[in-house]
Structure 1
Amino acid sequence: MAPRSKTARRVPLSRDRVLRAGVALADEVGIESLSMRRLAQRLGVVPMALYKHVANKEELLDGMVDVVVGEVEPPVRDADWKSAVRQRILSARETLLRHRWAYRVIESRSSPTPVVLAYMDSMIGMFRAGGFSVDLTHHVMHALGSRMLGFTRELFDDSPSPGSAPAAMPPEVAERYPHIAEMAMTRDHDRASTVGAGCDDRFEFEFALDLLLDGFDRLHRQGWTSTGH
C-alpha cells in the first residue's frame, strides 16, 4: 500500500485547535510574544488560514480565555455553599498558575467572554442555592471581584524584589518606613506560588478568601439586606 501523503495525515484546522494552540504557545513564550504569524507557524499553516476560525487577535484572546476558564473544576455536588465556592475559586487559582499570562488577558477584556459569563452565573447559582438573597448575592459578587476567577491585585506588596533578601532594604528606607521594613524582614512570601508580579501568594489568597466567606456567612445568617444595614 502506498504511504499516505502529508496532506492526508494533517489534522484539520478548527477553532478549538487554534485556541488550544494559542494557549500552549502563550504558556511557552508569554502573551507578549504571541502573534498570529507565530501561531500559524506553530500550527504549520499560513496566517490567513487562522482567520477562517478567529476574526482577529482580540477574538483569539477571547477564545483563549474561554479555554483557560473552561479548565476550572466544576462545582462540587452535594457540598455546602461555602465549601463549594471555596473549592471552585481555589481551582480557578490553580488554573491561572498553570497559565500565568491569563489573568492579564482576562483583565484586558472589555466585556466577559461566554465561558466567563457561564462561570459567573454558576458562582451566583451556588450562593442562591445556599439560601442567599439576590440582594446579598449581588454585593457578595462585588466583594469577590476578580478573586472569584482566582486572582487579585494587591496594593500592598511586601515581597522582596527578585534576587534580593528582605534584610537588603537600605537603612534610610527602613528608617523612613519602619513598619513596612519590619514586616518585609519578618515574612518572605512564597515566590513559587505567585500568579504574577504584585499578586498575592497562596497563603494570602486563602486568608482573604476565608475572611470574605466567613463574612458572607455571618451576613446571610443575620438576614442582611442592603436597605436595612
Structure 2
Amino acid sequence: MAQQTEAVHRTPLTRDRVLRAAVALADDIGIEALSMRKLAKELGVVPMALYKHVSNKEQLLDGMVDVVVGEIDPPAPGSNWKSAVRHRILSARRALLGHPWAAQVIQSRSSPTPVVLAYMDSVIGMFRTGGFSVDLTHHVMHALGSRMMGITQELFDASPAPDPRAQRAAPQEDAGEYSYVMELAAAAAHDEGSVVGQGCDDQFEFEFALDLLLDGFERLRQQGWSSVGHLRGKTL
C-alpha cells in the first residue's frame, strides 16, 4: 500500500490527469458529490495542487465536458452526409450515456467550450459539404437542438406512463375517457428504466426520431428549400 501511495505521488500531476480523474470520480459518486477536496484526495495531492491546472470548479467542469466530448468518434471518411451525421450523433449519445452526469453539465454551461464548438463545427460542416445551403443548415440545427449532442428532453419524463394492467382493472367508463392514451400504453412493450415512458426503448425512440429528421432534411435539400418565402409569407 505504501508503495502504491508513493507511485501516485511520483506520477506527475497534469491538467489531463486531473480532468480524467474528475470524470472517473463523477462517474463513481455523481456530479453533485464531486468537490475539489475529494478530487485531490483521489489523486493523492493537497487541494491547492489542483489549482495549478484548473483555476476553479467551473473550469474543472468545462474540462470534464471536453474529455467526454473528446470520446465522440471522428467523422467517418468517405461517407455521405446523412451517414456521417447519424454516426457522429449516435457516437455522441454513447459518450454521454457512458457518463450519466455529462448531459446535465453540458446544459449548465453558459457558453460552449472549444472542444464542444469544434464538434458543432464538424456537424455543421457535414451539412454544408453535403449540399445544404447556409439558410437550410441554420434551420436544421434548430430542429436538431440538443439531439445533436445525443440527448433529448422528453415531454413526459417526470411522470410515469399509465399502467395497462391497472387500466384493465379500472371501470370501463374511465377507460374510455383517455382511450388513445390507454391504447398506446397497452400496445407498447415496456422496460422499467426508460425516460421516454415506462418501458419504451430509449435508444430506439432516439434513432427513430433522428432518422425522421435526417430524411426530412434531405427532402428539403433536394427541393432547394429556402426560408425566405416562408418568412415573407408571415409578414404579409
Query: Contact 1:20–1:67 (CA<8 Å) still a contact in 2?
Result: yes
For 2:15 and 2:125, the matched residues in 1 are separated by: 30
For 1:99 and 1:188, the matched residues in 2 are separated by: 27
Per the alignment, do residues 125 and 190 of structure 1 end up closer, same or farther by CA in structure 2, a change over 3 Å counting? farther
Residue identity matched to 2:165: A
| Residue deviations 1:76-119 (CA, integer Å, cap 9, x gap) | 11100000000110011111111111001011111111100000
Task: State the shift of 1:51 in Å.
Answer: 1.0
For 1:192 and 1:98, the matched residues in 2 are separated by: 15
For 1:211 and 1:55, the matched residues in 2 are separated by: 43
Task: State the shift of 1:179 in Å.
Answer: 2.8
Query: Contact 1:190–1:201 (CA<8 Å) still a contact in 2?
Result: no
Which secondary structure does the structure 2 equivalent of 1:77 belong to? Answer: coil
Q: Indicate the structure whose relative CO is greater, using CA pairs within 8 Å and at least 6 residues apart.
A: 1
For 2:13 and 2:166, the matched residues in 1 are separated by: 53
Task: State the shift of 1:154 in Å.
Answer: 1.1
Partner of 1:216: 217
Partner of 2:165: 167
Partner of 2:208: 207
User: Which segments of 5 or more consecutive residues in structure 2 lack a partner in the other structure?
Assistant: 231-236
Task: State the shift of 1:168 in Å.
Answer: 4.0
Per the alignment, do residues 160 and 168 of structure 1 end up closer, same or farther by CA in structure 2, a change over 3 Å counting? farther
- What count of residue pairs does the alignment treat as equivalent? 222
For 1:128 and 1:97, the matched residues in 2 are separated by: 28
Which secondary structure does the structure 2 equivalent of 1:32 belong to? Answer: coil
Percent identity, aligned pairs only, is 69
Partner of 1:227: 228
Greater radius of gyration (CA)? 2
| Residue deviations 1:26-54 (CA, integer Å, cap 9, x gap) | 11111111111111111011111111111
For 2:192 and 2:180, the matched residues in 1 are separated by: 22
For 1:184 and 1:23, the matched residues in 2 are separated by: 38
For 1:185 and 1:220, the matched residues in 2 are separated by: 38
TM-score, normalization by structure 1: 0.86
TM-score, normalization by structure 2: 0.84
Per the alignment, do residues 52 and 142 of structure 1 end up closer, same or farther by CA in structure 2, a change over 3 Å counting? same
Query: Contact 1:189–1:201 (CA<8 Å) still a contact in 2?
Result: no
Partner of 2:69: 69
Partner of 1:86: 86
Partner of 2:139: 139
Residue identity matched to 1:150: G
For 2:104 and 2:165, the matched residues in 1 are separated by: 31
Per the alignment, do residues 103 and 177 of structure 1 end up closer, same or farther by CA in structure 2, a change over 3 Å counting? same
Partner of 2:100: 100
Task: State the shift of 1:9 in Å.
Answer: 6.2
Q: Which moved more, 1:178-187 or 1:203-212?
A: 178-187
Per the alignment, do residues 97 and 6 of structure 1 end up closer, same or farther by CA in structure 2, a change over 3 Å counting? same
Which residues of 2 match residues 1-229 of structure 1 at below 5 A? 6=6, 10-157=10-157, 160=160, 166-168=164-166, 171=170, 177-191=178-192, 201-229=202-230
For 2:214 and 2:31, the matched residues in 1 are separated by: 33
